[in-house]
Homo-oligomer: A and B are copies of this chain.
C-alpha cells in the first residue's frame, strides 16, 4: 500500500492546517470533511468528533516537543547554540499554534489534555533550568539564591503565552518577526544575569542579531 495516504492521516493533516490558519473555533468537523472531499459521516467513522482529532494532534505535538526539549539535555549545547535551540522550540510551538492560541478554551472542552500539557510545561521549565545551570557552571551566568529557578519558570511561561500575547499586541506582525521577537525577548531576560565575563554574551547576541538580518 506504499504511496497510499490513510484517510485518518489526511483528516489530521487537513485539520491541523485549518485550525492553524482559520482558528480552531471557526472550523467544524464538517469543514474538515469538506476540504478533503469526504462526507461528514465518514469523518465521524474515523474520529467521532472534533475533540478526538484535537487529541490526536496533541499527541503528535507531545511526541515532537518532548524530543526537542530532551535533545540539549542529553547532548549539551555549545554556548553559542543556545539561541538556536530557542528557535527550534518556538518553531515547534508555531506548528501547533492553534493549540497555543486557544489553550484555555480547548483545555476547558477536553480536560484530558490539561495534565499532559501541564507536564510539557514542567518539562520545558526543567530543560531551561538545565541549560541555565550549565551556563552558570561554566561561569557565564551568575545567579543569587532562587533566581535561576525563577528565571526558568518565567521563560517557560514566556514560551507558552508569547503567541497569544503577540496576537494582542501586534496582530499584523509576520510569523518570522513574531518568532524573532519572541527569542529576542527571551534572551533579554537572561541578560541581567550575565557575569562580568560579558564578552561571550556580546558575541552571542551579535551573532543572533546578524542572523536576523
Across the interface, name the chain B residue whose C-beta is closest to A171: B114
Is A212 interfacial (CB-CB < 8 Å)? no
Cβ of A154 and Cβ of B104 under 8 Å apart?
Answer: no
In the docked arrangement, what's the CA distance between A62 and B146, Å?
A: 36
Which residues in B have their C-beta under 8 angstroms from that of A109?
A: 25
Cβ of B165 and Cβ of A160 under 8 Å apart?
Answer: yes
A199 to chain B, nearest CB (A): 16
A106 to chain B, nearest CB (A): 9
Cβ of A147 and Cβ of B192 under 8 Å apart?
Answer: yes
Which residues in B have their C-beta under 8 angstroms from that of A118?
A: 168-169
Is A93 interfacial (CB-CB < 8 Å)? no
Q: Given A168-B117, A188-B147, are A102 and B103 neighbors across the interface (CB < 8 Å)?
A: no
Is A191 interfacial (CB-CB < 8 Å)? yes
The B-contacting residues of A in range 12-31, CB under 8 angstroms, are 23, 25-26
Cβ of B23 and Cβ of A108 under 8 Å apart?
Answer: yes
The B-contacting residues of A in range 116-151, CB under 8 angstroms, are 117-118, 121-122, 144, 146-147, 150
Specify which of B103, B144, B185 is in contact with A104 (CB 8 Å cutoff).
B103
Which residues in B have their C-beta under 8 angstroms from that of A26?
A: 108
Ordered by A's residue number, 5 sampled pairs between the chains whose C-beta atoms are within 8 Å are A26-B108, A104-B104, A154-B189, A157-B161, A192-B193
